[in-house]
A = this chain, B = another copy of it.
Amino acid sequence: MITVQYFFEVTGTGFFAISGALAASEKARPDWFGATFIGFITAIGGGSLRDMLLGSFPLAWVKDVTLLYAIFAGVVVANVLYIPLLRLRKSFLLFDTLGIAMFAILGAEKALGVGAHPIVAAIMGMFSAVMGGVIRDTLTNEIPIIFRKEIYATACFAGAAIFVINAGLGVERTLNFFVSGFLIVVIRLIAHRMNLSLPKFREDGPPPIA
């Protein structure tokens, strides 16, 4: 299982870098350094923030440069397969969602492993999955995706919460991984397909006196 999980971590990191380089390229026409920087931030931002909040050092990419190689490879793939990747956006949504699901659950598990409360672990799982993109959007001066898009971070939070609950109930780890991850993928893909969104915090705008 360790080996399979590690394979997924490295692959997921590479996919995040592809996603970051594509996102950067679509709006800012960066140079190679900028695209790599954004791919890097997107890939390691969420997990790094989680570990810094947990005080869990060293960070994954600081102790394992294989993750950095995966990022560099992802940025090159994003360049070489740029047109096909943009054309295959729908397939890419699937890959992206698989990556997010995996990061959310691995992140929640890591937080549990250092003794975090279940609610905190679910938050950390969601952070692992989405905060890389949030930091990327903030640096490129975009309103972060989680405030704009369809159900996305919410799916990660829900899946991470289910994972944490199942873990507390003693559900076998591999089974729990697949059930919780499947939940994230299903929620996000259905929400995207059916254009579902959460209810607005307030249906009215601010009152005129504001």
Contact = CB atoms under 8 A, between A and B. Distances in A.
Interface of A: 21, 24-26, 28-35, 37-38, 48, 52-55, 57-59, 61-63, 65, 68, 79, 82-83, 86-87, 89, 116-117, 119-120, 123, 134, 138-144, 146-147, 151, 153-154, 157, 197-202, 205-207, 209-210
A197 to B, nearest CB: 6
A14 B150 CA distance: 27
Contact of A206 (B58, B86, B123, B144): B86
A147 B138 CA distance: 13
Contact of A140 (B82, B120, B143, B157): B143
Contacts of A144: 139
A139 B138 contact: yes
Contacts of A48: 53
B52 A120 contact: no
Contact of A29 (B32, B117, B119, B202): B202
A58 B54 contact: yes
A59 B37 CA distance: 24
A166 to B, nearest CB: 19
Given A25-B202, A48-B53, 20 more contacts: A29-B205, A30-B200, A31-B197, A31-B200, A31-B201, A33-B146, A33-B198, A34-B201, A52-B52, A54-B57, A54-B58, A68-B123, A82-B202, A86-B206, A86-B207, A86-B209, A86-B210, A87-B207, A139-B144, A140-B147
Contacts of A37: 146-147, 153
A144 B38 CA distance: 12
